[in-house]
Every structure is written in C-alpha cells, then in structure tokens.
Amino acid sequence: MSEKPTSFSIKNWSQDDQPREKLRDKGKAILSDAELVAILIGSGNREESAVDLCKRILASVDNNLNALGKLSIKQLIEFKGIGEAKAISITAALELGRRRRLEEVLQLEKITSSRSVYNIMQPILGELPHEEFWILYLNNSNKVIQKNQLSKGGITGTLVDVRLVLKNALETGATALILCHNHPSGTLKPSQADKDITQKLKVAAQCLDIKVLDHLIVTEKAYFSFADEEII
C-alpha cells in the first residue's frame, strides 16, 4: 500500500508557519519576500511547500524583486508547482508594486486654521442640495488621515452615530477630530441640534484622549467655525 503524498498546501501547515496568519497577527513587515510571494500562490508542489518553492524562485533571480518582476509568465511556469494562474498572480502583484513606486508620495493635508478646513470641505459640501455630516480624522501633526461622510439626510438634518465616529478614530489612529456639515439653506447660524451633537462627540472623545478641535458649518460661499466663535 503506497503512502499518501504529503500535502504542502498552506492551510495544512501549523498556524505559526502560515504566512497569511503571520501577516494578520504580527504585521506585514515581519514576513520574508518568499513568505509574501507564497501568500499569492497558496500552495507548492508535492516535494516542497509554497515558501520553499518561492525561495527557489527568488534564488533564481538572486533574491531581487525587480528581477522577479521581469520574469515572463512562460518563465514562471517552468517552476514545478507554478501554473498559469499562480504565475499571473505573481506578475500582477509585482506590477502593482512597480506602479506604486511611480506614484507620488501621498501628501497629507495639514489643518492650520478653520479656513484650511473650509478649503478642503467646501468643494465637497458647499453646493449640495441636501445636508451631509462629515468627520475629518487628524494625526498628532494635525494632518488629515482620513475624511468620512458619516451621514446623509434631508435639508432638515442628519443622524450622527457617535460610536461609529470613535470606532473609526481608533482604527485610523487619529488623535483629533473636526466635525463638518453643510446648511443648504445658506444660514450660518448653528442649531441647537448642531450644538448638542458637538458637545456629545466632544465628551465621548475625551474618554479616549481624542480631541474635537472644531465643528464647521459650510455653505457655498462662507462658513461658521465653533472654535473661532469659542463655543466648543
């Protein structure tokens, strides 16, 4: 009776050896180039694991990822265990990496005043016929990490989920928030509801050492800043 061949599929490895789980639990930087490529192909062949196969492929190009990116589909499928689908996955991933290098480094917008918030948000909110509520998430250098539409409603108002705001702040690593919404009517006077949600978010954020720096009401040609008016 012949012995059943050993499976070298990643899913059959011990958890400590699985590159997918290693990336998830310990971060992408800890993985070797071979482990990252192994995630793309998923399995090796009957004689070697995906990581060992990828080590062999990388060794053939002196462990140079730029050289690996230049291998054709035909050259990749010459390695046992690499079929056309796996070769295409490797090629596509390395092409994305090449294109990423060509793009300019992302320059985060820095908030220096209420006017800088208005300049960012007026093109988004200034001419809308309905009301929207947005949150700007800032790092400790007051640079905008992310801006999210929190709610979209009629002219009468919007609903704001405080838990969602704070969840996203923690996920993005934000240390400060700026609230922003528009008044399609053109009025710059904050409503009592505007004041209430500002205070509610400010108190909730303080518990997580996150600051609410400002709340802007935006119209087509002007804005109202809670911070400038010292009501926050």
- Judgement on whether residues 118 and 159 belong to the same structural domain of the protein: yes
Distance, CA of 90 to CA of 181 (rounded, Å): 44
Poorest-pLDDT segment among 42-46, 53-57, 106-110: 106-110
Going from the C-alpha of 207 to that of each of 68, 165, 166, 202, the distances in angstroms are 49, 13, 10, 9
Crossing angle of helices 33-41 and 84-102, in 10° steps, is: 130
Segment 215-225 shows an average pLDDT of 95
DSSP tag of 43: B
pLDDT value at residue 14 = 46
Provide the CATH number for the domain around residue 123. Answer: 3.40.140.10
Using pLDDT thresholds of 50, 70 and 90, give the confidence band for residue 151.
confident
pLDDT value at residue 4 = 46
- Judgement on whether residues 63 and 26 belong to the same structural domain of the protein: yes
Computed on alpha carbons and rounded to an integer, the radius of gyration of the chain in Å comes to: 26
Distance, CA of 185 to CA of 171 (rounded, Å): 34
Mean pLDDT, the chain, integer: 88
pLDDT value at residue 107 = 76
pLDDT value at residue 3 = 45
- Judgement on whether residues 38 and 129 belong to the same structural domain of the protein: no
pTM: predicted TM-score of the whole model, two decimal places: 0.61
| DSSP H/E element including 151 | strand 144-153
Question: Per the domain annotation, does 24 fall within a domain?
Answer: yes
- Judgement on whether residues 92 and 118 belong to the same structural domain of the protein: no
Give the domain range for residue 73.
10-102
- Judgement on whether residues 97 and 139 belong to the same structural domain of the protein: no
More confident call, 184 vs 160:
184
pLDDT value at residue 144 = 95
Provide the domain count of the chain. Answer: 2
In terms of Cβ atoms closer than 10 Å to its own Cβ (0-12, 13-18, 19+), residue 15 is exposed
Residue 155 backbone phi and psi in degrees, to 5: -65, -25
More confident call, 97 vs 8:
97
Evaluated on CA atoms 37, 42, 48, 49, the torsion sign reads positive
Question: Cβ neighbours of residue 72 under 8 Å, at least 6 residues apart?
Answer: none
- Judgement on whether residues 166 and 94 belong to the same structural domain of the protein: no
- Judgement on whether residues 82 and 121 belong to the same structural domain of the protein: no
Poorest-pLDDT segment among 3-17, 45-59, 72-86: 3-17
Helix (H, G, I), strand (E, B) or coil at 59: helix
Using pLDDT thresholds of 50, 70 and 90, give the confidence band for residue 77.
very high
What six digits make up the tokens of 13?
A: 């490895």
217 near 121, Cβ under 8 Å?
A: no
Q: Is the pLDDT of residue 213 over 80?
A: yes
Amino acid letter, 145: I
Last residue of a domain, one of 102, 132, 154: 102
Segment 92-117 shows an average pLDDT of 86
Using pLDDT thresholds of 50, 70 and 90, give the confidence band for residue 173.
very high
